[in-house]
Structure 1
């Protein structure tokens, strides 16, 4: 019962830390009860199957954490209107399992090599787990520890140096030091060591936040220019209206909103809009647009006609597109994801795209590079499809695996200095991935997203909060257009300057600064995660070496 209570306390600390309703400072002690449970079971318990006990209790902690913080996935609906259990059960169960296995590796290593080496291994293996979760096809880094301060961004300004993965390392180190402090006190009951170690815990937790707050109040943007942006929010029901409404009507309503916001709001001298930003897959509704036929598309030509009435203005937004390969040779040269269309003798790739439209110019297109597992991509299809069958989640649109762009693209234009990074929805939770846009020259992050799959829940709030991390890491302003909300303008300190609430239809206008230069994090990426990979490799190789030396 003692172990269960401690495990539940650990789960509670994780849950109450998480944005956007939580208090993140509890995260500094969230692992401590679980680490105490593992230590008690390993050293003093008479339980027969100790490893199974550690695994079971850690799984209890992590599944509660996952359910409470990401249970909003239950709001995803099937085409018949029922809740999609698969959308919540699979990520919660699998993510909890992966976390428990990571903790289990720590338990095995500590049992073999002792507490001190074990704690170093714990920090390193958890960092490797988070890095792994950012990279593979079943990627789900939503609960990576560094994300926890997304709503308290004043205290993580140093993410421009170490990134959110550096935040994970910071949190792990504080937890380990807090656990060590308790163990030293239990072993010796020496007040002096308790005071010293407690002071170190407090210092390690508080000092980076103090440095960050000084950075926050002293940071000044040094723009190379600015642009006026209208972030369009059509508020389309993503399950029915979006795929049942006529495509021409969808674009017409989008342009109607744009026409009503053709000048910057609250500007003393009416300043025209330079960029109209539309949400993810904002058109055509049902189906998609052929990339070979952009020049003939009625929808795109309607947008160009609208832009012709607003000189030196461009349109960027999300669109569902496809590309047809005329023969197998062309397909083999350009794609590994194209599917063969029976009876038509051609191959086709479907994409979740961002397009930039300018009158009298070819349409520029970027294909989303980080796809949502189970919704936009069938992970490890050759292995899992024979086991699971056609297990892709149907949210009303396509249920085939989409194609991707291997490299990031930046949209420049002839009218101003803006170089837009077309960040599409899920991509905005990946720090090192977003850095690639900056390395390509982007001076403004333009996020296009559709968060309304989960209704009015923590889902869209958390995704908006995570965007603030990207602003700090890259020191770029963000303009964010969401289908149903929340559309927002975020400055390079992570402040939400202005926003359009969830469920509102209209547009948010903002003057966004264009910023250049590369932060240390942009240049180095997830440096500490790569270092921890080396540490894990070294510690694993250290085991046989240590045994050999002991024998000698």
Structure 2
């Protein structure tokens, strides 16, 4: 049994080593699950063991928990900076353990198939179970798709240019099936057919070969626009007392002017860059001093637009939304929002939709409302932020469409693709990664932005308050990037794009294929009543 846990630890180590931000190690994902599968096969073959299903779950759980924790340890780091270590540890267990539990459940269901069916059918079912877990973990109130397997190639993007067809779920499917083909080949090494070897080798080489050709030959259509990305480097914890909103605004304008050209069309400022010591009411924001200062700043730029994060509110007479809270005889919604300001009287607002569980919204609404005050200190609200149900594009007067993607939202490929389907010609990611400190979290978040560029074939302009700001072209190459904990501004000529990729058109169809596989294999398990009608293809390994 100890050897089985050693194999589980080896899988965890390979998965961690292959994960961003470690460069060019992603191909290790092709073999990372094989030690774990060997351990599970040994459990199945050990006639002395009892409660094998639980042992399979625990063994897979060891791999998943260690891989998760080693890759997203920065979650604890961010919470421990504002809370006692023991509270931070308890809260951190939620993302550490929840994803790991779902991963282990996929292997537990695989074991149920393995008892009654062949290895090939069981591995097919495991593919569906895993992708179902990933899809669930991007869809429910505790959504955290950070560890979706397809994200693992963010640091070796030359190999996954075909994400413009499948998105990251295509990467998950690819990684899983290569592991399973190699494992099947190994367990049947004495009887493996030539066709199996050809299929396995082709399944590795052909997508890589196509991707390298696509990467080498891809040419952007020339449709230039000048942008400026600003990184003000304001301590997110000191922001609520160490620097005034006006000082922050002055810093943003000073940095913007330092690199701007007369034909700059977009100035992109980070998440919550525009704030106030009191409420910023969207209905009367034109009367605010910060708005007037931005208009004065734009006088030197004929076609200039400021796309910025903003902390805003809306007031209602009645409780028009579930998140609206009573205040002074009215109801109010607070938003983590974005705003587009130009020299006209038109203001465009976007309200962040993909909210961070706990920090920005209370998961499952009223059922867990009692824990809401616990998260107030972590930059959130006790009632949760308001949000809108779908993305919306900011349009400049020149007709340029920009996708205002706020922080956490950039992890959802399908959500960002919805902006592009609505007409966005480039992607503006505004974020504040300074909460996490100088950890790998900020680097992973930057690398994941490359995937959005490839899926949609759009330039990405990334403005991070104290993270890493960058510009990324349509192939996923980082053209410019800032350093950690430094004031900076980047001027970049980008190419706008109006072409719609297959992924933008069809979305996460690969995930739906995984859901279908999971359904069919589970159905077969439920319908199979006589376990002796077919002996499982179990081999000693």
Structure 1 287/55 Cα, relative in aligned 2: closer, same or farther at 3 Å?
farther
- Paired with 2:438 and 2:372, the residues of 1 have a C-alpha distance of 32
- Cα distance, 1:311 vs structure 2: 2.4
Partner of 2:205: 206
- Paired with 1:81 and 1:533, the residues of 2 have a C-alpha distance of 39
Q: Report if aligned partners of 1:157, 1:212 keep a CA contact under 8 Å in 2.
A: yes
1:355 alignment partner, SS class: strand
1:137 alignment partner, SS class: coil
- Cα distance, 1:417 vs structure 2: 4.0
Partner of 2:487: 505
- Paired with 1:194 and 1:542, the residues of 2 have a C-alpha distance of 27
Moved more, 308-317 or 226-235: 308-317
- Paired with 1:502 and 1:325, the residues of 2 have a C-alpha distance of 41
- Paired with 1:389 and 1:112, the residues of 2 have a C-alpha distance of 45
- Cα distance, 1:491 vs structure 2: 0.4
Structure 1 548/10 Cα, relative in aligned 2: closer, same or farther at 3 Å?
closer
What is the RMSD of the two structures over their aligned residues, measured on CA atoms? 2.1
Which of 110, 133, 136 is matched with 1:132 structurally?
136
Partner of 1:322: 313
- Cα distance, 1:285 vs structure 2: 5.6
Q: Report if aligned partners of 1:431, 1:470 keep a CA contact under 8 Å in 2.
A: yes
- Cα distance, 1:56 vs structure 2: 1.2
Partner of 2:48: 46
- Paired with 1:10 and 1:549, the residues of 2 have a C-alpha distance of 31
Partner of 1:313: 304
Which of 234, 243, 246 is matched with 1:245 structurally?
243
Partner of 2:78: 76
Q: Report if aligned partners of 2:230, 2:255 keep a CA contact under 8 Å in 1.
A: yes
- Cα distance, 1:214 vs structure 2: 0.4
Q: Report if aligned partners of 2:312, 2:337 keep a CA contact under 8 Å in 1.
A: yes
Partner of 1:9: 10
- Cα distance, 1:312 vs structure 2: 2.1
Structure 1 539/516 Cα, relative in aligned 2: closer, same or farther at 3 Å?
same
1:409 alignment partner, SS class: coil
* Structure 1 stretches lacking a partner, 5+ long: 264-270
- Paired with 1:436 and 1:486, the residues of 2 have a C-alpha distance of 25
Given the alignment of the two structures, is residue 162 of structure 1 paired with residue 175 of structure 2, yes or no? no
2:132 alignment partner, SS class: helix
Moved more, 519-528 or 39-48: 39-48
- Cα distance, 1:391 vs structure 2: 3.5
- Paired with 1:172 and 1:445, the residues of 2 have a C-alpha distance of 30
Partner of 1:109: 113
- Paired with 1:477 and 1:379, the residues of 2 have a C-alpha distance of 33
- Paired with 1:171 and 1:326, the residues of 2 have a C-alpha distance of 53
2:181 alignment partner, SS class: helix
Structure 1 381/208 Cα, relative in aligned 2: closer, same or farther at 3 Å?
same
Given the alignment of the two structures, is residue 35 of structure 1 paired with residue 26 of structure 2, yes or no? no
Given the alignment of the two structures, is residue 145 of structure 1 paired with residue 144 of structure 2, yes or no? no
* Structure 2 stretches lacking a partner, 5+ long: 534-541
- Cα distance, 1:389 vs structure 2: 6.0
1:390 alignment partner, SS class: helix
Given the alignment of the two structures, is residue 408 of structure 1 paired with residue 408 of structure 2, yes or no? no
Structure 1 286/168 Cα, relative in aligned 2: closer, same or farther at 3 Å?
farther
- Cα distance, 1:360 vs structure 2: 2.9
Partner of 1:432: 414
Which of 318, 336, 339 is matched with 2:322 structurally?
336
- Cα distance, 1:260 vs structure 2: 2.0
2:49 alignment partner, SS class: coil
Partner of 1:96: 100
- Cα distance, 1:217 vs structure 2: 0.3
- Paired with 2:118 and 2:195, the residues of 1 have a C-alpha distance of 23
Tell me the alpha carbon deviations over residues 15-47 of structure 1, each in whole angstroms, 9 at most, x when there is no partner: 111011151111111111111111211123411
Tell me the alpha carbon deviations over residues 242-276 of structure 1, each in whole angstroms, 9 at most, x when there is no partner: 5542212211221122222222xxxxxxx532211
- Cα distance, 1:183 vs structure 2: 1.1
2:368 alignment partner, SS class: helix
Partner of 2:214: 215
Structure 1 545/228 Cα, relative in aligned 2: closer, same or farther at 3 Å?
same
- Paired with 2:157 and 2:335, the residues of 1 have a C-alpha distance of 33
Q: Report if aligned partners of 1:103, 1:122 keep a CA contact under 8 Å in 2.
A: yes
Structure 1 544/425 Cα, relative in aligned 2: closer, same or farther at 3 Å?
closer
- Paired with 1:471 and 1:524, the residues of 2 have a C-alpha distance of 17
Which of 285, 296, 303 is matched with 2:287 structurally?
296
- Paired with 1:385 and 1:109, the residues of 2 have a C-alpha distance of 39
Question: How many residues in Structure 1 have an aligned counterpart in Structure 2?
Answer: 529
Structure 1 361/45 Cα, relative in aligned 2: closer, same or farther at 3 Å?
farther
